[in-house]
């Protein structure tokens, strides 16, 4: 079988946003997909294997949707970066170009640009049902001949036509590929011809005029050029009259003239009709008053669903892992190895997997909104409001998701194409009070706020709860405003976006989206979370030689004197052990720093351990106050509430201490999982560390002011 020499077995799927590109990609590759990043940038790269009928595997890469080779967002830059570099790893043998038949003229622009780069193209003309229903007909065969490239009709939703597409791909790989010549859609001006000739002479690997032109346009954005190459091309550009923006506009207009002629020939009807259902639904959904209200209702539903529907599976996961830990201890007996496996590895793994029900639910609901076309409306509605503080319409998704859990929320920011707006969204999302803060709030509010009701209606405690959520949201807004002042960007902000016709979400796309996000969370964030869990386990289980044994001895003696039963003795031992562990030493070492906030070393230990996850605070307090059962929240509250301050003789968890601690938990970045996911999403440790310093610093200052202020006032 004759293979074209030098083929790498790599295909790119490219098209405009909303062209049905990702659906087709899913049909081609099935479940055998991998997600990662394009080299050098944090742009998601989905790839999968396509098995040809002759048994060869071809790698298919899904590129971000883009309208032309002159994009405005960082994500879309990947397309020209990869396609203008034949030496690059991702450079394809073939581009499968997906175009929506209904918007053929618009979608042929990028196609004509890619053709000029000299890469073989296969046009997949996506004829969705609505196109057929609206009575518009296309002559795909004639289109293929006019364009000079093989053209296959496909249906992205059903996968119809995928077989023919694969046949054509096989033709390319078996050397029976024919392309017809076509009239040039775009000709270079004499001045540009001189320019590209100079570039091609200096760089022999630039084999096409249009490739040279693309390099000239995007000189400072290309990731593969060496600094000296950039300098050299820059010098060439200096010698020629070349205004990038003007040239882009002229080029696009010229291409469209050519495209319009072709489209007129192959389409039987002029367009102009709106999708009636979309128009009717949007009359309400994008209404100046009803629109925002409907959005809030959707959000409340999502929040409620993520919050309540995930409770049961989360409990199962927790139980499975605690059983597993118990089983390991039983099988291996007591010892550091069984403790490492049970309390470190298994507990850490459980700590990762326990988030999965929330992540799955949230992404499922968000994917449904996205796939149905609704999300674009929310962005349209809230763009202005959020832009004022440096966010983006799409940030609203992350901010609301954050009330459940910051981890899926941070991951959902991938839909924000402006990198600065996305970064700010990631930075402020953890300010939103998540579900893990709830147990901490519950414990401390119980200590601090009396049980009465305002006017016999709303309880003081519920009001305090609400106040804490509002405080978190306010911190997110102010934080965004500040980051917006500090961070610089060259990327122009824009809204300009399609509001696609509403459609019934396709289960395949929804399942793939949810699956790939959950898998990448477990893989990437999971590694870091387990590592930190093991470190925390080590700190809580070990101490300087002999100290632990001494503490246990002392606890046994104490228990014998007081005549405690077996359970109480075990609890006392655990309490004494954690006090003498490295974590306990850290807590005590921390005491001078946190004393101005009204915290003692016991809270210090809990601050250290609850870095694993905020709710661990309650469990640690239970251990320190030697309560056998972690679930018994009311008895912890009683013990903490009854404790007296040895110096003042007053209650230790006084109003100022409890409030200070509450405020600390509202603002502080007390969550290693979030740090892990921010590191993963931003691709550097810089941002999670800045976040940690800013949030925890703010928490410290606010708690300090609250505690010192209240104490000075005599509370």
Partner 1 sequence: MTTPLTLADVQPGRPVRITHVEEHPSTGRLLAMGLRPGQRVTLVRRTAFGASYYIHAEYQQFGIRRDEAEILWVEYTD
Binding site for partner 1 (CB under 8 A): 67-68, 70-72, 102-103, 105-106, 109-110, 245-246, 248-249, 252-253, 256, 271-275, 278, 282, 286-288, 291, 376-377, 379-381, 383-384, 492, 494-501
Quick one: CA torsion of 196, 198, 199, 202, rounded to 10 degrees? Answer: 160
DSSP letter (8 states) at residue 614: T
Residue 1: C-alpha distances to residues 93, 102, 164, 390, 425 (Å):
18, 39, 20, 57, 53
Dist CA 13 CA 22 (whole Å): 8
Dist CA 402 CA 303 (whole Å): 9
If the CB atoms of residues 491 and 631 are measured against partner 1, the closer one turns out to be 491
If the CB atoms of residues 192 and 627 are measured against partner 1, the closer one turns out to be 192
If the CB atoms of residues 31 and 245 are measured against partner 1, the closer one turns out to be 245
Q: Let me know: does 203 contact 224? Beta carbons within 8 Å.
A: no
Q: Let me know: does 645 contact 627? Beta carbons within 8 Å.
A: no
If the CB atoms of residues 224 and 380 are measured against partner 1, the closer one turns out to be 380
Least spacing, CB of residue 395 vs partner 1, in Å? 15
Choose among 377, 116, 484, 102: nearest CA to 267: 102
Least spacing, CB of residue 689 vs partner 1, in Å? 33
Least spacing, CB of residue 501 vs partner 1, in Å? 8
> What's the token pair of residue 401?
């998701």
Dist CA 277 CA 97 (whole Å): 29
Least spacing, CB of residue 59 vs partner 1, in Å? 28
Least spacing, CB of residue 477 vs partner 1, in Å? 18
If the CB atoms of residues 103 and 508 are measured against partner 1, the closer one turns out to be 103
If the CB atoms of residues 498 and 570 are measured against partner 1, the closer one turns out to be 498
If the CB atoms of residues 167 and 257 are measured against partner 1, the closer one turns out to be 257
Least spacing, CB of residue 328 vs partner 1, in Å? 55
Least spacing, CB of residue 114 vs partner 1, in Å? 13
Dist CA 405 CA 366 (whole Å): 14
Least spacing, CB of residue 193 vs partner 1, in Å? 22
Choose among 111, 95, 92, 80: nearest CA to 24: 95
Residue 340, SS3 per DSSP: helix
If the CB atoms of residues 100 and 524 are measured against partner 1, the closer one turns out to be 100
Non-local CB neighbours of 612 within 8 Å, separated by 6+ positions? 348, 351, 532, 533, 536, 672
Residue 609, SS3 per DSSP: helix
If the CB atoms of residues 310 and 417 are measured against partner 1, the closer one turns out to be 417
Non-local CB neighbours of 364 within 8 Å, separated by 6+ positions? 510, 514
Choose among 361, 362, 331, 358: nearest CA to 346: 331
Least spacing, CB of residue 500 vs partner 1, in Å? 7
Q: How many residues does the chain have?
A: 715
């Amino acid at each position: 079988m004759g293979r074209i020499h030098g083929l790498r077995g790599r295909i790119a799927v490219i098209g405009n946003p909303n062209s049905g590109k990702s659906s087709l990609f899913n049909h081609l590759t099935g479940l055998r997909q991998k997600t990662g990043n394009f080299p050098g940038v944090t742009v998601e790269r989905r790839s999968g294997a396509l098995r040809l009928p002759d048994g060869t595997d071809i790698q298919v890469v899904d590129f971000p949707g883009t309208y032309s080779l002159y994009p405005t967002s960082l994500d879309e830059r990947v397309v020209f970066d990869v396609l203008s570099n034949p030496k690059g790893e991702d450079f394809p043998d073939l581009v499968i170009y997906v175009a929506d038949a209904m918007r053929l003229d618009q979608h042929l622009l990028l196609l004509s640009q890619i053709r000029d780069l000299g890469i073989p193209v296969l046009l997949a003309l996506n004829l969705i049902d609505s196109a057929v229903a609206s009575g518009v007909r296309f002559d795909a065969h004639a289109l293929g001949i006019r364009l000079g490239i093989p053209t296959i009709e496909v249906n992205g939703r059903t996968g119809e036509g995928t077989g023919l597409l694969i046949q054509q791909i096989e033709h390319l790989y078996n050397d029976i590929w024919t392309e017809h010549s076509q009239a040039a859609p775009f000709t270079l001006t004499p001045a540009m011809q001189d320019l590209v000739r100079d570039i091609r002479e200096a760089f022999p690997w630039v084999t096409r005029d249009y490739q040279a032109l693309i390099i000239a346009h995007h000189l400072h954005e290309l990731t593969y050029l060496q600094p000296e190459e950039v300098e050299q091309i820059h010098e060439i550009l200096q010698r020629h009259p070349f205004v990038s923006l003007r040239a882009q506009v002229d080029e696009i207009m010229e291409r469209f003239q050519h495209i319009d002629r072709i489209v007129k020939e192959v389409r039987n009807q002029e367009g102009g009709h709106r999708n009636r259902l979309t128009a009717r639904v949007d009359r309400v959904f994008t209404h100046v008053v009803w629109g925002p209200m409907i959005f809030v209702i959707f959000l409340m539903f999502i929040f409620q669903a993520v919050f309540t529907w995930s409770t049961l599976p989360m409990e199962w996961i927790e139980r499975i892992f605690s059983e597993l830990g118990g089983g390991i201890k039983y099988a291996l007996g007591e010892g550091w190895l069984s403790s490492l496996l049970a309390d470190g590895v298994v507990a850490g793994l459980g700590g990762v997997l326990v988030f999965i029900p929330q992540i799955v639910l949230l992404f499922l609901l968000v994917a449904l909104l996205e796939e149905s076309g609704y999300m674009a409306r929310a962005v349209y509605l809230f763009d202005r409001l959020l832009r004022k503080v440096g966010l983006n319409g799409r940030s609203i998704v992350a901010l609301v998701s954050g009330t459940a859990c910051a981890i899926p929320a941070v991951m959902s920011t991938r839909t924000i194409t402006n990198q600065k707006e996305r970064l700010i969204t990631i930075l402020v999302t953890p300010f939103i009070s998540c579900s893990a803060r709830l147990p901490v709030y519950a414990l401390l509010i119980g200590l601090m706020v009396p049980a009465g009701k305002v006017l016999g209606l709303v309880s003081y405690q519920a009001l305090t709860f609400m106040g804490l959520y509002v405080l978190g949201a306010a911190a997110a807004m102010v934080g965004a405003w500040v980051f917006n002042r500090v961070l610089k960007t060259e990327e122009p902000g824009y809204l300009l976006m399609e509001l696609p016709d509403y459609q019934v979400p396709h289960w395949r796309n929804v399942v793939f989206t949810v699956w790939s996000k959950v898998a990448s969370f477990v893989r990437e964030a999971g590694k870091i979370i387990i590592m930190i869990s093991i470190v925390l386990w080590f700190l809580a289980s070990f101490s300087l030689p002999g100290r632990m044994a001494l503490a246990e001895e002392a606890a046994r003696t104490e228990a014998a004197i007081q005549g405690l039963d077996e359970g109480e003795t075990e609890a006392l031992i655990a309490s004494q052990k954690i006090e003498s562990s490295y974590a306990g030493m850290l807590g005590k070492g921390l005491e001078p720093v946190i004393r101005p906030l009204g915290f003692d070393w016991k809270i210090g230990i809990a601050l250290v351990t609850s870095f694993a996850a905020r709710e661990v605070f309650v469990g640690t307090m239970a251990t320190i106050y030697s309560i056998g059962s972690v679930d018994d929240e009311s008895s912890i509250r009683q013990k903490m509430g009854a404790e007296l301050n040895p110096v003042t003789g007053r209650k230790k968890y006084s109003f100022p201490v409890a409030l200070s601690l509450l405020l600390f938990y509202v603002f502080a970045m007390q969550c290693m999982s979030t740090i892990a996911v921010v590191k993963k999403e931003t691709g550097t440790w810089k941002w999670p560390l800045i976040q940690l310093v800013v949030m925890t610093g703010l928490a410290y200052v606010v708690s300090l002011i609250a505690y010192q202020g209240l104490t000075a006032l005599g509370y």
